[in-house]
Amino acid sequence: MARRSAVPSRADARSAPARKYASPDDGVLDEDSEVDEFALGREDEPSDEELEEEEEQEGMVQWEPDDWEGEEDEMESDDEDDMTRLREGLTSLPLAAVMKAQRSLRKSPSDSGSENEAGPSMPKEQRLAEMKMKLAQMQQRKGKGKASVSIHESEEAAAPSADLKRQSKHAPVAMSTKRQVSRLRQVVDVQKQDRRDPRFSSVSGQVNVDLHAKAYDFLPGMLSAEFDALKTAVAMAVKAERTCAWADKPARTAERERLEAELGKQRTRLERTRREARDREVLAKVKKEEREKQKQGKGAWHMKQSEKRDLLLKSRFESLEEEGAKRR
């Protein structure tokens, strides 16, 4: 009898029914059991979070790349926004103001010093801050309301370069307080009087009007002669203006007006001289009468201002009556 091999052949394996997994019907698993035998093996395995904690405790660090590109994008976007706002502010300003700001930026010593220190490659943030500050100053001068740059930013930008120059010629001058006060006292100078003629100086005493009139009694005659000459010249100028050519009319008119103005001045001088002479005569006549009365035994008498004013007014009307009678 042939011995049968314990190892199943391929045909037996094919012909044998498929093997089933364990089920409650087989009696292998207890139906009432709530314990999962397979869960015991899973509980023994550590979770991902526990593994990470163990690695951190042991000192193991995992490298993660920094997000530099995102921060650079945000900074570039902020710079672009600032530049757009600056361009909008510059477009609202007149061209003359923008050119003036450019010239001031080129000529300012603070900018030249910063360029020498930082070199040709000035930081973009610094240039932007300087342009913002200049734009804010121009907007404040033009009265366009709030400036695009805040006060804190302008102060921070102007802090390193403290300039004592005035913003405009109408602004007050800014001076540094770190200067020593002069020990010399400023004395107010008294204006010196220039005395050219000793006859009219206050040192020579009071002027005697009567004596002065007697010494210069030839002046009224000279004034009257000049007045008559000017009167004749004005009459000739009027005649020449009427008979001159049309082209010479403006020149003749100007000459006539000049002579008439000089004639009016001379008439005023002559009338003042005659009035003063008449007043002196009236007052001298009254004084002479009072001296004669005092010789006869009358007491001292002093003329009041009201009496003097009445006497002068009476003499003036009498002179006007005489002139009117002469004209008739």
- Same-domain check for residues 226 and 150: no
- Same-domain check for residues 148 and 213: no
**CA dihedral (228, 232, 235, 241) positive or negative:** negative
What is the pLDDT, as a whole number, of residue 133? 85
Q: Is residue 18 part of a domain?
A: no
Backbone dihedral region for residue 16 (phi beyond 0: left; psi -120 to 50: alpha; all else: beta): beta
Q: Is residue 264 part of a domain?
A: yes
pLDDT in tens, 275-325: 998 998 899 888 888 888 888 888 888 888 898 899 889 988 888 888 776
- Boundary (domain end) residue, out of 142, 158, 174: 158
Domain of residue 285, residue span = 207-298
Q: Which residue has the tokens 């650079």?
A: 72
pLDDT in tens, 86-95: 777 767 777 7
Tell me the C-alpha distance between 299 and 291, whole Å: 10
Backbone dihedral region for residue 145 (phi beyond 0: left; psi -120 to 50: alpha; all else: beta): left
What is the pLDDT, as a whole number, of residue 109? 53
- Boundary (domain end) residue, out of 125, 158, 191: 158
Q: Is residue 310 part of a domain?
A: no
The helix-helix angle for 124-142 and 68-92 (nearest 10°) equals 30
Q: Is residue 93 part of a domain?
A: yes
Q: Is residue 30 part of a domain?
A: no
Q: Is residue 187 part of a domain?
A: no
Pick 88 or 67 by higher pLDDT: 88
How many domains are contained in the chain? 2
- What is the overall mean pLDDT for the chain? 73
Q: Which residue has the tokens 């404040």?
A: 140
Q: Is residue 275 part of a domain?
A: yes
171 neighbors 140 (Cβ within 8 angstroms): no
pLDDT above 90 (res 269): yes
Amino acid found at 328: R
Q: Which pLDDT band holds residue 148 (cuts at 50, 70, 90)?
A: very low
pLDDT in tens, 210-226: 888 888 889 889 999 99
Pick 106 or 134 by higher pLDDT: 134
- Same-domain check for residues 214 and 288: yes
Structural tokens at position 299: 């007491």
What is the pLDDT, as a whole number, of residue 97? 78
DSSP 8-state secondary structure symbol assigned to residue 173 = P
